[in-house]
């Protein structure tokens, strides 16, 4: 049956021109349909690819926008840093000016302090010399003849010192005094006892020559039997000290 159909079709193709065109048209239409389907498939794939491309483009645009925003932030930070740098320079210049002014003030103060130190040094030397002269004079008034000078030791300096065969005088001279100077006088006495006993005598008169004694100094000096006076006034009298001397 199939072979007879095939033979008939072959015959018609050979003999019947219209049939032959019809078969050719059918074959062409099938190929066209298959080609159309292929094109549609390719078009669909292209659309999908195009969609992916657009998605990538949108992502790139979003990235570009983010980069621009980030760049804008960076430039804003740079501008802020520049403004801060300008402010810091201004502050630094102000500080430098203030520092230079302070240096000038310090230099003036240093000059003044140098003058004050020289004045104090001169006053100290003067008061020590004055103290030694008045100690010698007042002791002489009591019949005690002692040459008074200073005593320099490796460990200390005693600016009022004098001695005869029976009595020695140990003391300090200063412009203003607190209780601490009384301790210093007794500490120097202890030093002489330990290391230089030859400078001591059986009787010791402790003396503080001071222009401006604090009130507690006078009270404490009396307890310790220390003669405290200046040229015009006795705060703890020599008579009191001599009465209580050991």
Residue 160 lies in a domain: yes
Q: Look at residue 64 and tell me if it is in a domain.
A: no
Count CB neighbours of 145 within 10 A: 11
Return the CATH number at 237.
3.40.1350
Structural domain including 168 reads: 125-244
Structural domain includes residue 159: yes
Q: Confirm whether 104 is domain-assigned.
A: no
pLDDT mean over 4-33? 66
In tens, the pLDDT along 27-80 reads: 665 665 566 677 677 777 777 777 787 777 787 777 777 778 888 787 788 788
Q: What total number of domains does the chain contain?
A: 1
177 inside domain: yes
Position 62 in a domain = no
Is 194 among the domain residues?
yes
CA distances from 70 to 33, 62, 67, 73, 74 (A): 54, 12, 5, 5, 6
Judge whether 198 lies within some domain: yes
Q: DSSP string of 124-183?
A: HHHHHHHHHHHHHHHHHHTT----EEEEE-SS-EEEEEEE-SSEEEEEEEEEEE-THHHH
Predicted confidence band of residue 117 (pLDDT cuts 50, 70, 90): very low
List 167's β-bridge partners, or say none: 203
């Amino acid at each position: 049956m199939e072979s007879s159909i095939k033979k008939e079709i072959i015959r018609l193709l050979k003999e019947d021109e219209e049939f032959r065109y019809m078969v050719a048209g059918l074959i062409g239409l099938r190929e066209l349909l298959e080609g159309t389907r292929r094109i549609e498939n390719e078009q669909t794939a292209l659309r999908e690819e195009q969609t992916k491309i657009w998605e990538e483009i949108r992502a790139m645009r979003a990235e570009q926008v983010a980069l621009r925003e980030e760049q804008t932030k960076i430039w804003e930070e740079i501008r802020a840093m520049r403004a801060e740098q300008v402010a810091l320079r201004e502050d630094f210049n102000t500080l430098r000016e203030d520092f230079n002014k302070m240096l000038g003030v310090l230099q003036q103060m240093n000059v003044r302090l140098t003058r004050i130190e020289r004045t104090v040094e001169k006053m100290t030397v003067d008061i020590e010399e004055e103290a030694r002269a008045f100690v010698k004079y007042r002791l002489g008034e009591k019949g005690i003849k002692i040459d008074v000078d200073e005593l320099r030791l490796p460990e200390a300096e005693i600016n009022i010192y004098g001695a005869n065969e029976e009595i020695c005088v140990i003391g300090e001279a200063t412009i203003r005094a607190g209780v601490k100077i009384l301790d210093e006088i007794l500490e120097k006495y202890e030093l002489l006892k330990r290391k230089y006993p030859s400078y001591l005598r059986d009787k010791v008169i402790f003396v503080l020559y001071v222009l401006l004694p604090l009130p507690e100094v006078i009270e404490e000096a009396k307890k310790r039997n220390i003669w405290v006076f200046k040229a015009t006034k006795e705060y703890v009298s020599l008579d009191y000290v001599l009465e209580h001397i050991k």
